[in-house]
Amino acid sequence: MRRPLLLLLGLLLLHQGHCFEFVIDGEWEEEASEVQDHRQRHKRAILTSEEEEDFQAIRGDDITVKSYRVESRITSRFAHVTVRSSVVNSGSKAQSIGFNVQIPKQAFITNFTMNVNGITFVGSVKEKTVARNLYTQARARGKAAGIIRANSQDMETFKTEVHVPSGSNIEFELHYQEMMHRKLGHYEHNLYLQPGRLVPQFQVDVYIFEPKGISMVQTSNTLGQQFTELIKVVSTDNKAHIVFKPNLQQQRKCDNCTDSAIDGTFTVMYDVKRDSNAGELQVSDGHFVHFFAPTNLSPLPKNIVFVIDVSGSMWGVKMKQTVEAMQAILDDLTLDDQFSIIDFNHNVRCWSEDLVSGSSIQIADAKKYIQNIKPNGGTNINEALMRAVQMLLKASNQGLIDSRSVSMIILVSDGDPTVGEIKLSAIQKNVRKIMREEFSLFSLGIGFDVDFDFLERIAMENRGIAQRIYANHDAAEQLRTFYSQVSSPLLRRIAIQFPEDSVSEVTQNRFDKYFSGSELVVAGKVLPSESNTLTSFTTASAARLDIRMDTGADIAELDTELVKHQHSFTGFARQMWAYITIKQLISDRSLAQTAAKKRMVTKQIMSLALEHQFVTPLTALLVESEDATERLLADSPRDPKHGCCSGGGIGGPRHPVPKVPIVYQVPPWVQMSTPAPPSSVEKGPVEWTVPEKVTLVDNDPHFIVHLPGSNMDVCFNIDSKPGHILNLVSDRGTGVVVNGQLISSKQVHNSKLSTYFGTISVDYQPDGVSVTITTDMIAMSDGSNNHSFTWAATAEITQDGVRINIVKNSHVIVTVNDNIQVMVLLHRVYKKHPVNVDFLGVYIPNDNQYSPVVHGLIGQFSREPEVNVFDIHEGADPLKKEATMEVKGNKLLVTRGWQKDYRRDTRQGSNVYCWFIHNSGKGFIDGHYTDYIVPDLHSFL
C-alpha cells in the first residue's frame, strides 16, 4: 500500500502522529471583512521570525538537489517564468521537503505541477470558494495545503512542503507571468536566486524578443563578484539570451565550503528601439498592445507642495533619511518650477504660504528649514493635506499656475492620523471634495507602522500613486528614486484611440500625465475586419504644443514572426491584455463605493482570472493528483502590510465609468474613463496638400519657379558648396524665414560633386518658434522648449501660430498662421549607395500671403516679374529648344528642358517643362546667388 503524501505549508501541528492540521496565514475575503473599525486599523504588521529567517529555495535534511533551473521568456515586455527543481530524499527516513520560490508582487502565478514517485499533481485556477470546498474535502481526509504568502519586500513567496518516504524522487515546476514596467528609461526583470545549497545542474536562462529591436541589455550582478564572468549576454538586433550556469565548484562560498554563494537577485535590464514618438503598435493572437514612450520632448513645469510628517514617530533614522532625500530633490527643481513645503505633527506649518520659484536662493532657504525640523507630537494629516490643496487652489485662482504645468502634492508620512480628523474615510472624502482634476496626490509611506491601504486609496482617488518606503539604510535613495520617476512630466491629457468597430474591450486608454522614462500601455481585442492593418491615433499636450500622432500595424505580420523564434512567448498579447485588465479591475474594486459595484467588478475579475488561469486575490490554485484524491491549495491572501490587495494595480477601470473614482498606478499613469473615439478620429489622418502649381527646389538643387501670370515655369540651378546656407524666404513683415543648408554626395560622380538640401529651417519670429527638418528628424523649438519627432510616424503638432503635419516617411508641411505653407519632401536612398545620400526637397505654394517686403531665392517671386520669351529656335540638343528671355531689364539665353516634381512619385518624379536659366539664375534672380548665403539656419537676409 502506497504511503499517503502530505503537502504542508504554514504552521503544522502534529495530531496523534498521523494527521496534520493547517493554519493558513491569510484569510478568505468576505464583503463584511471590508468594514474595519478604528482599532483594527492600528494592528500593525511587523516582521515575524519566519520572515527574518534565511530563505532557501529547497529545504530539507539529507536531500539531494539534482537540478534547479529558471527559464524566463520575455516577449514584447511580457514575461513567462518557469522554475523547475528535481530533488531526492536521500535520507534514511521519511521527511518534509520544501520548495519555495520568491516572485515579484506584480506577477500572477499561472500554474504549479509536481511529480512525486510517479504521482503527478496538476494545478488549475478556480474561484476561491470552489477551491476551498474541494480542498476542505481533501483536508478532512488528512491531506495537505500550500499557499502564496506576502513577505516584507516587493515580492511574494510561494511555499510548498511535501512529506515523502526515503528514496523518493520529487519534481517541482512553478509558472508565473508578469508585465515589465518601464521606469527611469529601462525595463527591469528580477529573478530571486537563493537555492540554499549546492546544485549539480544549476542554470538560469532569460530569452528576450522585442520585434522593434533591443537598444540596450545588461545585467546587474548582486550575487557577488565571483559570478561576474559567469553571466553571459548574447544579443542581436531584436533578440537577447542571458545565461547563468555556474558549476558546483563555482557555486561554493569558498574552495572547501559546502554552502552555496548564490544568494541574491539576478537582474536583467533592457530597453527597446523606438523609431518614432507615436509609439509601437503590435497585433498578435487577435489582440493588440500599444506601447507609448515618447522622448526628445521638453519637460512641463511643475508646481509641487511637499507635505512632510514630522511627528514624534519620525524621530531618528526616518527623519534623517527624509532630510537627506529632500536635499537632492530640491536641487532638481528649476526656475520654471514652483514649490513650497508643509510640515506637520499635531500642528501644521508652512515654510512659505505661497508657491515660490525654484531659484537657488529659495532652494537654499528651504534646505535650511528642513534641516532644522525636530520631530515631535501627533499626526494631523487631514489639516496638512487641506492646506496643501488650498495653496495650489490659491495659486491657480490667481493665475500663477501655467495651464500646461503639472501640479502635485507629495505626502511623506509614517503613521496614522492621531490629531484633528482621524477617521480615514472622512479624510479621503475631504481631500477628494476640494482637489481639482488637474492636481495629483502622491503618498509615500515610511515603514510598517503606517496604514498603507489608506495612503494607497487617497492617492489613487486623486490621480496619483502610493509607494512604501522601507525604513532602512537606503530609505533616502528610495525617496529620491520615487521622485525621479515623477520629476519630469512630458505630456498631459494623453488619449490613445482607434477607429470605430476596429477594437473592443480596450484597457485604460486616457492618461492624465506621461513622465519621462516610463511607458503607457493600452491593450485590447481586435475585431474582424477586411483591413489588414490596425491604426491608432494618439493626442496629447506638451509644453506649448498640441500633438496628434498616428501609427499602424499589420494584423498578421507579428504572428508569422513569432513562430520563427523558438523561445518567444506566442501568447503574450492575449495574456498581457488580461493581465492589464485584471490589475485595473483590482484597483477599481478597491475604490468601489457601493457593495453592488464591488460585486460586479469581483465577478469580472474572477471570470478573466479563470479564463486566463491567473492566481489573483480572488482566485486560488488547486493542485491535485490525477485521481483527485490528493490536493493542495495556493491562494493569494489579503496582505496586511501592503494594502487591500496583493499585487497592486495598473490603473483605472476597464469599462466607462463616472469620473469618480479616478485610478492611478505607475506606470502607465492611467487615469480616465474610456469613451468611444470621436467621429473625427474614425476618419483617420487628415492629408494636407499644397496647390497644384508651386515653386519648388529639389534634387541638386534645382529651382522651378512657377509664374502664374505668364503661365510658365522657369528653372535654374544653384552651384554652391556643402555647408552653405541659402535663404529661400525672408519676410520681416510676417516674421517668417525659410533657409536650407547644403550637403554633398558621398563622392565625385561624372566629374561633379553634387549638392542637396540636408536641412530646412522654418522660423516664425513673432512667437519665437523654429522648425528644423533634417533627413533624420523634425525638431520644434521656442527658445526654452525643444521637441523632436522622427519620420517614422504620421503626426500633427501645433504650437501658437505654427502647425506641423508629418506624413510618415514622405513629407512635412509647416503652416504659419494658416496662410503660409512650406512642404518639405523626404528622399531616401539605399544606405550603402557609393554616391547618393538622403536629401530634402522644398515645395512652396504661390498663394502664400507674405508681406510686401518678402525676399529670398523663392520669396522674391511672390511679386511676379514681367517675362517675355521670343526667338525660339533649335538648339545644340535637338530635344531642347533655345530662346531669348527678357526679364528685369536683362536679355538671357534660355534652354527649353525639364525638371522633376517628386510630390506624386518620389522615386521617378513627374516632368515639369521649363525655360532653364544658366549661371545659377544670373539675371533672373536679384543680384548674385552668393547674396543669398546667410550665416545660420535662422538668419533673415
Residue 47, pLDDT score: 36
Q: Residue 626: its pLDDT value, please?
A: 74
Q: Which residues pair with 760 in a beta bridge?
A: 740, 773
With 50 as the cut, is the pLDDT of residue 152 above it? no
Q: Look at residue 502 and tell me if it is in a domain.
A: no
Give the chain's radius of gyration (CA, Å). 34
Distance CA 757, CA 841 (A): 7
Q: Is the pLDDT of residue 425 over 60?
A: yes
Q: Is the pLDDT of residue 645 over 80?
A: no
- For residues 27 and 746, the model is more confident at 746
Helix, strand, or coil here: 267?
strand
Domain range for 736 is 702-934
d(Cα 671, Cα 654) in Å, to the nearest integer? 11
Confidence check: pLDDT of 29 > 50: no
DSSP 429-443: HHHHHH--TTEEEEE
CA 509 to chain centre: 13
* β-bridge pairing 867-873 and 882-887: antiparallel
Tell whether 909 is covered by a domain.
Answer: yes
If you search the block for the grid coordinates 529558471, which residue do you land on?
A: 70
Residue 506 Cα distances to 526, 529, 917, angstroms: 9, 17, 60
Band (634; pLDDT cuts 50, 70, 90):
low
Instruction: Using the structure block, give the residue that is written with the C-alpha cell 531689364.
Output: 889
257 and 399 belong to one structural domain: no
Q: Angle at Cα 566 formed by Cα 562 and Cα 571, nearest 5°?
A: 45
Note whether 755 and 885 are same-domain residues.
yes
pLDDT, position 71: 97
Q: Is 514 contained in some domain? A: no
With vertex at residue 780, the alpha carbon angle to CA 761 and CA 496, rounded to the nearest 5 degrees, is 135
Q: Are residues 312 and 434 in the same domain?
A: yes
- 854: cell is 518678402
What is the β-pairing status of strands 619-625 and 119-127? antiparallel
Tell whether 309 is covered by a domain.
yes
Strand order in the sheet with 186-193: 182-183, 186-193, 264-272, 214-221
93 and 238 inside one domain: yes
Asked if pLDDT for residue 779 goes beyond 70, the answer is yes
**Which residue among 256, 272, 288 closes a domain?**
272
More confident residue, 653 or 593: 593
Secondary structure of 454-478 in the HEC alphabet? HHHHHHHCCCCCEEEECCCCCHHHH
Answer yes or no: is 44 within a domain. no
Which DSSP string corresponds to 464-514? Answer: --EEEE--STTHHHHHHHHHHHHS-EEEEEEEEE--TTSEES----EEEEE
Digit-coded pLDDT (tens) for 676-720: 333 344 344 444 455 678 899 999 889 999 999 989 999 999 989
pLDDT at 689: 55
For residue 54, the model assigns a pLDDT of 59
Query: Rounded to whole angstroms, what are the CA distances from 742 to 373, 845, 919?
Result: 61, 22, 18
H/E run at residue 348:
strand 348-350
Got the DSSP string for 350-394? ES-SS-EE--HHHHHHHHHHHHT----S---HHHHHHHHHHHHHH
d(CA 865, CA 709): 9
Residues 864 and 903 in one domain: yes
CB 26: neighbour CB atoms within 10 A?
A: 18
347 plus 245 within the same structural domain: no
- Whether residue 340 is predicted with pLDDT greater than 90 in this model: the reply is yes
Indicate if 239 and 318 belong to the same structural domain. Answer: no
Residue 508 lies in a domain: no
Residues listed for the chain:
941
Q: Where are the alpha helices (DSSP H) in 153-211?
A: none
Instruction: In whole angstroms, give the CA distance from residue 695 to residue 704.
Output: 6
Q: Check residue 628 and give its pLDDT.
A: 66
CATH number, domain at 59?
2.60.40
Q: What is the pLDDT of residue 35?
A: 37
Q: How confident is the model at residue 902 (pLDDT cuts 50, 70, 90)?
A: confident
- Asked whether residue 673 is domain-assigned, the answer is no
For 628-640, what is the mean pLDDT? 58
Examine the domain organization and report whether 898 and 769 are in the same domain: yes
Task: Return the DSSP state at 577.
Answer: H
Q: How far apart are CA 707 and CA 867, in angstroms?
A: 9
Do residues 779 and 839 both lie within one domain? yes
pLDDT, tens digit (0-9, with 9 covering 90-100), for 598-629: 999 999 999 999 999 998 888 888 887 777 66
**At 752, is the pLDDT very low, low, confident or very high (cuts 50, 70, 90)?**
confident
With the C-alpha atoms ordered 852, 853, 858, 863, is the resulting torsion angle positive or negative? Answer: positive
Per residue in 384-400, pLDDT (tens digit) is 999 999 999 999 999 99
User: Structural domain tally of the chain?
Assistant: 3
Among 487, 502, 532, the domain boundary falls at 487
Q: Minimum mean pLDDT among 2-11, 191-200, 442-451, 929-938: which range?
A: 2-11
What b/e readout covers 919-929, taking b as 16+ CB neighbours within 10 angstroms? ebbebbbeeeb
Which cell numbers in the block locate residue 654? 476597464
Query: What contacts 894, CB < 8 A, 6 or more positions away?
Result: 714, 869, 882, 883, 884, 885, 915, 916, 917, 918
Q: Name the range with the highest mean pLDDT among 115-124, 449-458, 735-744, 877-886.
A: 735-744
What is the predicted pLDDT for the residue at 938? 94
From 116, 270, 258, select the one nearest 180 (Cα to Cα).
Answer: 270
pLDDT in the model for residue 358: 95
Residue 13, pLDDT > 90, answer: no
Grid look-up 507609448 returns: 292
Domain boundary among 465, 487, 509: 487
What does pLDDT average to over the chain?
84
The whole-angstrom separation of Cα 81 and Cα 166 is 31
Cα 761 from Cα 772, distance rounded (Å) = 4
**Share above pLDDT 90 across residues of the chain, in percent, rounded to a whole number:** 60
Within-domain flag for 510: no
Is the pLDDT score of 33 beyond 60? no
Q: What is the secondary structure of 218-236 as a DSSP string?
A: EEEE-S-GGGGGGEEEEE-
Q: Write out pLDDT tens, residues 556-573.
A: 999 999 999 989 999 999
Q: 93-102, 244-253, 595-604, 764-773: which range is least confident on average? A: 93-102
Quick one: 247 and 326 in the same domain?
no
Q: Are residues 185 and 318 in the same domain?
A: no
Q: Classify the C-alpha dihedral 334-340-344-349 as positive or negative.
A: positive
Same domain assignment for residues 118 and 250:
yes
C-alpha pair distances (Å), 205 with each of 74, 82, 230, 231, 489: 11, 10, 12, 10, 36
